[in-house]
Structure 1
Amino acid sequence: MRRALAAVAVMVLAAAPAVTGCASAEKPSAGPVEITVWHGQEDTSAKSFEKLVTRFNQTHQDVRVSVESGGATADGMLPKITAALTSDAYPDIAYLYGSWAPNIARNPKVADLSEYVKAPAVGWTDFWASEREAVTVQGKVIGFPAVVDNMVVLYNRKLLAKAGVEPPKPDWTWADFRTTAKKATDPSGGVFGTTWAISGGEEAVWGLWPMIWQAGGDILSPDGKKAVFNSPAGQQALDLLRAMTIDDKSVYLDSSPAEKGQKLFESGRLGLFLSGPWVLSDLRAAKLDYGVAQLPGTAGNHETISGPDNWVVFKHDERRVKAAATFLSWLTAAEQQLVWMSDTGSLPIRESITKLPGYQDYLKKYPGIDVVSDNLANAKRVRPPTTRYPRVSSFVADAIAQTLLGRSDPKTALDQAATKADAALAVPGS
């Protein structure tokens, strides 16, 4: 899941006001407070983040930030952090998916920033409501919003034209998606219509949830105690993927943990690619002629999925928590975020960013980013806020893999996943 404009080059060097008045008095220190961030970013995103950290360190005397990958990508950060929290080897800040918030918030070493975010310098209400919700668990603010995104369909203009297929229209359906993928497939040229992950991670289920939602289904029951993804809506969604994979042979099954889908798309071997704004920087660098469309719809419903991610803060001592809040207040300020957005193609996490002078340059830099931004209106639901979600997701990911590999049928695979999910949800404290 989940990745500088000249106009703001001067602005970003000006430090955002520090978060003050939120911590108890501490004894003066002889040097800056040193904190560590596990960012979990890769390639362009990692370079951009490290660049911003360097600028922060150059403009702040009281806080020194060091960065590490944490030994994991964003996908693998939760188990890394969970293991680290059993000792004193955990960071002050870590990048974690928003869906993990209910799980990680239960750990007593997670800081509560509820008082810190009230500082005027933070501009808490400037963040989108969905982001504030994703980083707040039972009234406890566990960090700062990091990323907001949503899923769209990227398409290769030249490949579709060669196949005699028109680009997706605003009212296209999943039947259109299947037809386009089938026509774009060229086995002799190693070209596939689309791809789907079967490596067992969140990438496998990320695209299935909107299909289920659009058809009137859901992931869990309203009380969060029972799995309902094996409803007719779920079976219909997975059956479409099965037909595209086994019958049409238009789907490249990506079994690599490194996820080859993006590379296939960049190299011109993929017609349609379900992804989001985090890949636009790489596509631009690859000089690919691509277009962006909202997800295919069901009965006019083009609901998508959005996954706000968080910078979660962990407690060592009060000075370090305060330093972490100061850094994150600066990092998530509009000027710094516009630099990050320009480097990575990420969406604005604050409303005020859209009013900066460099925002129009950002829109021009990433063709189609306006479509992705507008698509936030189609992001109406989030993944279930339960500590058991990672396990539920893994059961469904396995069901998808078993079906697309021809080892099971959609109903059997989803029913088995639902049975396992129900057992996990029944555990006290879920």
Structure 2
Amino acid sequence: MKPRFFAALLAALMIFSLTGCEKSLLDKDNPVTLTFWHVYGEQSGSPMDELVDEFNRTVGAEKGVRVTVTATSSASQIGAFLLQAQAGGSELPEMPDVFTCHIGDAMALGAENVVDWNDLFTEKEREEFVSGFLDDGTADGKLLVFPMSKSTHVLMLNGSAFDRFSAATGAQYSDLTTWEGFYQTAGAFYDYSGGKTFCALDYPLRAVELRAMEQGAEDFYTEDGWYDTDNAIFKESWLEFARALVQGHIQMSDRYSNTQVMTGETISGIGSSAAILYYNDKVSYLDGTVEPMNLQVLPMPKTDGADALMTQAGVGLCAYKTDEKRAEAASLFVHWLTEPERNLDFVAETGYMPVRNGAFDAIENYTDFPEPQQAYQNLYAALNTMRQEYTPVSEPRFSGYYGKVNALYDALREAQKAYPARLANGESVDELANETWTMLCSMG
């Protein structure tokens, strides 16, 4: 992160605007420690850990707040971990003071147990943030999840391998603009490569949902937070994905598709824009061959002739209710994290979208991307296209929904291992695709 010479002054101004004439409860000589769980990189030296260290050295030290990261997790798992910590008696660390999670996770903890950021950010301050991102973290009028960054889903490709495929077959990146072209290209690559998979998907259900919505499907969730399996458009969208899956044209990722792309198991992956943080600049094939990744990033495919939709994904920042001093400390930390230049630096380094109005315009002229810079420039070109041409859609927020999703994904990962042999033994594509539909139905 770049040095910031006016951090102390900015922090003082933020605290003044937050507390008005009220006396601060924070005391430099008697600092309060906030525990923090986050999902921004489970490896050591993650960008979020670097930010925490910077805060502790500067504004935190001046104001009497120290933040300690006590756990990291994946976004898909942190909700369950938080519920276990809230219940107590688990092997997990105690319930954190500040944490990142989805709005559904915050609601599962109980809105009454989570700080309402509306009480800690003035209306004028909130107007500086993208309203849709604030709405995504709001339930029953309470701003429970404060946005620090947002991601969406994009298509990332091994450019070196795709160029060879293109030279041999005439396939073009423009073919991947639509779902129709994506599935055709996946099948063509399978034939060209002698049976290799084109793409690994991290979140196929979201792709299926968006495809169905673009085709006019409505109200395909049930009251208990799963899918209306009588919805014909949603079912056909699923079966389109499933037919490609059982034939080996695409596959379920091993949780994160960058692994498959970096080892050459597939030449592309659909996942979070933030996955760019974990891509290497080289592909290391299993036979020992190494070549440049030449990472290409394309917008999520869309339905031909329909209005394009994009997921609005990503966790936000929550604070658990304890006492007023800790709430003020949490407010100081979150104000500092979301300060404009700092937020822009963070998202540009991690592949997220900025959350402040006007910041997307600023990122077009941003020059401080990490290496390989061209990959990040490709990413933000794709994100800017989606910003202009796609409509963002919030993810489902049903309690228990993501537990069912993860169970379905685990079942599909196991099932896909046997599909080649089953097809070779005479089972049909449609039979196997319908079997995956039965899996989905059984999760409800």
Q: TM-score range by the shorter chain?
A: 0.7 to 0.9
Whether the 8 Å contact between 1:32 and 1:63 is mirrored in structure 2 is yes
Displacement of 1:52 in angstroms is 1.2
Q: Is 1:375 equivalent to 2:377 in the alignment?
A: no
Report the alpha carbon displacement of residue 133 of structure 1 after superposing the two structures with TM. Answer: 0.7
Q: 1:23 to 1:47 in 2, by over 3 A?
A: farther
Q: How much does 1:309 deviate? A: 1.9
Does residue 67 of the first structure (1) align with residue 79 of the second (2)?
Answer: no
Distance 1:45 1:292, change over 3 A: farther
- Structure 1 Cα separation of the partners of residues 191 and 175 of structure 2: 26
* Equivalent position of 2:41 in the other structure: 42
Find 1:140's aligned residue among 118, 121, 142.
142
Q: 1:300-339 maps to which residues of 2 (within 5 A)?
A: 300-301=305-306, 302-339=308-345
Cα deviation code 1:114-155 (max 9, x no counterpart) = 2211165xx212221221012211011224213212112122
The 5 Å alignment of 1:163-312 reads: 163-164=165-166, 165-169=170-174, 172-185=177-190, 191-197=196-202, 203-218=203-218, 220-221=220-221, 227-228=227-228, 231-247=231-247, 249-254=248-253, 256=254, 259-283=255-279, 285-286=281-282, 288-301=293-306, 302-312=308-318
Task: Return the offset for 1:266.
Answer: 2.5
Correspondence for 2:359: 353
Distance 1:325 1:196, change over 3 A: same
Deviations 1:248-283 (A, max 9, x none): x222443x4xx2521221334422311232022333
Q: Which sits farther off after the overlay, 320-329 or 110-119?
A: 110-119
Counterparts of 1:280 and 1:196 in 2: how far apart (Å)? 15
Shift of 1:193: 0.4
Give me the CA root mean square deviation: 3.5
Shift of 1:225: 7.1
Q: Residue 341 of structure 1 is aligned with which of 340, 347, 350?
A: 347
Q: Structure 1 residue 316: deviation in Å?
A: 1.9
Query: Structure 1's 13 and 243: CA in aligned 2 closer, same or farther, altered over 3 A?
Result: farther
The percent of aligned pairs where both chains have the same amino acid is 16
Residues 199, 268 of structure 2: 8 Å contact kept: yes
Secondary structure in 2 matching 1:305? strand
Task: Evaluate the alpha carbon distance shift between residue 272 and residue 214 of structure 1 in structure 2; reply closer, same or farther with a 3 A threshold.
Answer: farther
Give the deviation of 1:303 after TM superposition.
2.0
In the alignment, the residues of structure 2 paired with residue 322 and residue 86 of structure 1 have an alpha-carbon distance, to the nearest angstrom, of: 25
Q: Deviations over 1:18-57 (max 9, x none)?
A: 3432797676744122211111222579621111112212
Q: Is the 8 A contact 2:149 2:347 kept in 1?
A: no
CA distance 1:357–1:393, shift in 2 (3 Å): closer
Secondary structure of residue in 1 paired with 2:174: coil
Counterpart of 2:121? 117
Q: Which residue of 1 aligns with 2:32?
A: 33
Match among 139, 149, 160 for residue 151 of structure 2: 149
How far the C-alpha of 1:98 sits from its partner, in A, is 3.7
Partner of 1:387: 399
Amino acid of the residue matched to residue 111 of structure 1? V
Shift of 1:380: 3.4
Say if 1:173 and 1:297, in contact at 8 Å, map to a contact too: yes
1:128 aligns with 2:130: yes
Q: State the TM-score, normalizing by the size of structure 1.
A: 0.80
Q: Cα–Cα, structure 1 residues 56 and 231, in superposed 2: closer, same or farther, change >3 Å? A: same
Cα distance change, pair 11–160 in 1 and its aligned pair in 2 (3 A): farther
Q: Distance in 1 between matches of 2:21 and 2:410?
A: 46
- Change over 3 Å in CA distance of 1:235–1:322 after alignment to 2: same
Number of aligned residues = 404
Separation in 1 of the partners of 2:42 and 2:310? 26
The change in CA–CA distance for 1:303 and 1:400 in structure 2 (over 3 A counts) is farther
- Displacement, 1:401? 5.6
Amino acid at match of 1:373: N
In structure 2, the residue corresponding to 1:144 is in which secondary structure?
coil
1:308 positional shift: 4.0
Q: How far off is 1:13 after superposition?
A: 7.4
Kindly state the Cα deviation for residue 112 of structure 1 after the two structures are TM-superposed.
2.0
In structure 2, C-alpha distance between the alignment counterparts of 1:159 and 1:334, rounded to whole Å = 38
Assess, with a 3 A threshold, how the Cα gap between structure 1 residues 114 and 273 changes in structure 2: closer, same or farther.
Answer: same
Cα offset for 1:73? Answer: 2.5
* Residue range with higher mean Cα deviation, 352-361 or 93-102: 352-361
Paired with 2:393 and 2:363, the residues of 1 have a C-alpha distance of 32
Describe the SS at the equivalent of 2:316: strand
Residue 77 of structure 2 aligns to a residue in which SS?
helix
TM-score of the superposition, structure 2-length normalised?
A: 0.78
Corresponding residue SS for 1:163: helix
Report the AA paired with residue 246 of structure 1.
V
When residues 230 and 25 of structure 1 are mapped into structure 2, their CA distance, relative to the original with a 3 A threshold, is farther
Matched, 1:93 2:98: yes
In the alignment, residue 387 of structure 1 is paired with which amino acid? S
Give secondary structure in 1 for the equivalent of 2:270.
Answer: strand
Between 1:349-358 and 1:374-383, the stretch displaced more is 349-358
Structure-to-structure mapping, 1:11-22, within 5 angstroms: 15-16=10-11, 17-19=13-15, 20-21=18-19
2:84, 2:43 → 1: CA distance? 27
SS at match of 1:37: strand
One-letter code of the match for 1:227? Y
